[in-house]
Amino acid sequence: MNKVENNKAWWLVLPVFLLVAFSAVVPLMTVVNYSVQDIFDANTAVFVGVEWYREVLQDSRLQDSLVRQFIYSFAVLLIEVPLGIAVALMMPTKGRMASLCLILLAIPLLIPLNVVGTIWQIFGRADIGLFGWALNSIGIDYNYASNTADAWVTVVLMDVWHWTSLVALLCYSGLRAIPDAFYQAAHIDRASNWAIFRYIQLPRLKSVLVIGILLRFMDSFMIYTEPFVLTGGGPGNSTTFLSQTLTKMAIGQFDLGPAAAFSLIYFLIVLLVSWLFFTTITHMDKDK
Amino acid sequence: MSWMAWTPVTASFFSIIAAILACMTFYEIKVPCTERKGFLPIPTTRGDRLFIGLLSSAYVHLLFVGFSEASLFIPLALCVVWLLCLLRWG
């Protein structure tokens, strides 16, 4: 078949192009413009070059937030991905129980972020919350408002509770797409359950896992609402993540220049890590 | 457009990026590229190499800004050479 040289169908991309330009490119350009100026009001701005970038990169408060953010994102990924796969493997494949499991799994995903924070704020309290009360009853001195380790455990558990369902649902859809012939061949070969998982299910889950890991990384790296509602960033600054620091800077102090520089560095980190994840996973198959 | 707070420096920066993208699009239409393997550990297309070059240049500039008092023309020159090498042999 000859290639069509003058393909007018490309014009159909124009609305998407305009929408992306309006909602992403123009705001991003504005942030770049703000990041090199000291903005006093809508009409008064002074060019300062890379001064804000230098200030932001040397700010220990932001460096600490960045380290906390990476630890948090990798902790939730390390828990949610294996747990999501395990849940998907254990779910029934057909019948009413399968529908019921799907509905139950979807419930946490439907709850607004600030409500999740509030649920866990109450759930973790030692006086009126079931989780906090139960831990204290068995002799564990748990208080997420005053103990850093407890605050971290609660913030990570909250994220696991909220988002493992997403990974599980993605993996479940991936597992359902595997043809029965693969399993029949494995049974003829007397493959163990582990061998079926390792050589049939896991490779076939790769594409959904790429999407799941990318979504969870980007989401967890930009987390704001849940920890803000649950701990307010405390005790001290122990659960203050990048977006909370950025919000304080941009809205609390109205330092638009440094906040813009910080936003761009934040964007570059998300872009780099997402690209590395995506490239590594998509090239693993090609190397085999 | 005053709400976008344009400056001559940022306007030049975006103009150069837009010009690079326009040239790459034009070149792609004239000479469609195929994925190939150079000194990078992965096979890449021309667009991949441009993306890697721009992203790595951004990080090089950030390193110089954050941890050195040197003039920004030094990382700029390094990045132009790096980008050209990447596009040719990457």
Q: Which ranges of chain B have pLDDT less than 70?
A: 1
pLDDT higher than 70, residue A61: yes
Q: Is the pLDDT of residue A1 over 80?
A: no
- B42:A39 CB<8 A: no
pLDDT score recorded for residue A4: 60
**Chain A contact set for B62 (CB, 8 A):** 53, 57, 265, 268
As a whole number, the mean pLDDT across chain A is 90
**A–B CB contacts, 8 A cutoff, strictly below:** 54
Q: Do A33 and B67 lie within an 8 Å CB cutoff? A: no
Q: Are A209 and A81 in contact (CB under 8 A)?
A: yes
pLDDT in tens, A160-191: 999 999 999 999 999 999 999 999 999 999 99
ipTM computed for the complex: 0.92
CA dist A285 and B51 (Å) reads 22
CA A216, chain centre distance (Å): 3
Across the interface, of B10, B43, B58, the residue whose CB is closest to A33 is B10
Question: Whole-angstrom Cα distance, residue A249 to residue A242?
Answer: 11
Give dist(CA A53, CA A131) in Å, integer: 43
Domains of chain A: 61-287 (1.10.3720.10)
Please report, for chain B, the start and end positions of each structural domain, with discontinuous segments joined by +: 1-32, 35-90
pTM for the predicted model, two decimal places: 0.83
* Pairing of the two strands A44-47 and A37-41: antiparallel
